[in-house]
Amino acid sequence: MIITIIARFIAALNANRRPGEVAAGIAMGVVLALIPAGNLLWVALLIVSALLRLNLGIEIVTMLVLSPLAPLTDPLLHRIGFAVLTNPNLQSFFASMYRLPLMPFTRFNNTVVLGGLLAGLALWLPVFFLGRILVGVYRTKIHPAIANSKIVKAFEKIPIVSKIAGLVRKFSRVYGAVA
């Protein structure tokens, strides 16, 4: 199972898919990592992201890698959410939102959830553009250097690594990989 996930991740990074799809997956993964899971807002964003043209595998890996680090940002997210939720100009808006069906299940009234959503939305574009740049650099410079190194050639002789490499080649054909 984990070997398949690793293989799909590597194949997706090397795929001929647009760098924007991979970058969008990274950006959406950051948004989902910042919002605490277990509420309707998080589930709705995950479902919407599955319907968008982005790399879902990269999104999930990004979210899984960053989620354990997200609690470190909770004090900042709390301050952002608290500032917005206690803004007198928005109080009637939030009160009417809370009275709508299903809206309480989004937990938008939780300072960390709202702060995570707002921070994630604010970070989406910068992370997207940085992701596009990094994917391009990885594909043109880093991947060829790593793939042709002596260490990787020796490492590929290890049985589990050769199995991962075989799966990467398999998924690369599916994703239309460059190398």
Domain that holds residue 123: 2-175
In angstroms, the CA 44 to CA 50 distance is 10
In angstroms, the CA 78 to CA 32 distance is 16
Determine how many CB atoms are found less than 10 A away from the CB of residue 37: 13
Residue 178 pLDDT: 44
**Alpha-carbon Rg for the chain in angstroms:** 20
Whole-prediction pTM value?
A: 0.77
How confident is the model over 131-167, as pLDDT tens digits?
A: 999 988 888 888 777 777 777 677 667 777 777 777 7
The arithmetic mean of pLDDT across residues 93-115, rounded, is 91
Total tally of structural domains belonging to the chain: 1
How confident is the model over 30-67, as pLDDT tens digits?
A: 999 999 998 999 999 999 998 988 888 889 889 999 99
